Amino acid sequence: MEFLFTPTAEEHFEHLTLQVRKRIATKMRFYASQTDPLQFAEPLTGSNSYRFRIGDYRVIFKVLHDTLWVVTQRPKRPFCHGQS
């Protein structure tokens, strides 16, 4: 399996620091090389998308024709105490 970025995701990716880009790219290569990369992913509710947790970032992706298509990557949301 391979991984590719949508044009929007690629644009967002280019604005990340070099260290974060390297970490995400390394981990995505690892996931893409696995027989079942979805074993490491969480499905997104109400969607056909999934997410990987990579450090402080969440990488949102879809699987189409044996390709992991990265839709976006964003920092994880901070946990707020007292909110439900």
pLDDT tens digits, 40-72:
999 999 999 999 999 999 999 999 999 999 999
CB atoms within 10 A of CB 73: 22
Confidence tier at 78 by pLDDT (50, 70, 90): low
Residue 56 included in any domain: yes
Residue 83 included in any domain: no
Residue 25 included in any domain: yes
Residue 82 included in any domain: no
pTM of the predicted model over 0.75 = yes
Q: How many domains does the chain have?
A: 1
Residue 69 included in any domain: yes
- Give the model's pLDDT for residue 36: 94
- Give the model's pLDDT for residue 76: 79
Residue 34 included in any domain: yes
CATH of the domain at 47: 3.30.2310.20
CA distance 77 to 28: 21
Residue 52 included in any domain: yes
Question: Which DSSP category does 62 fall into?
Answer: E
43: containing domain: 2-75
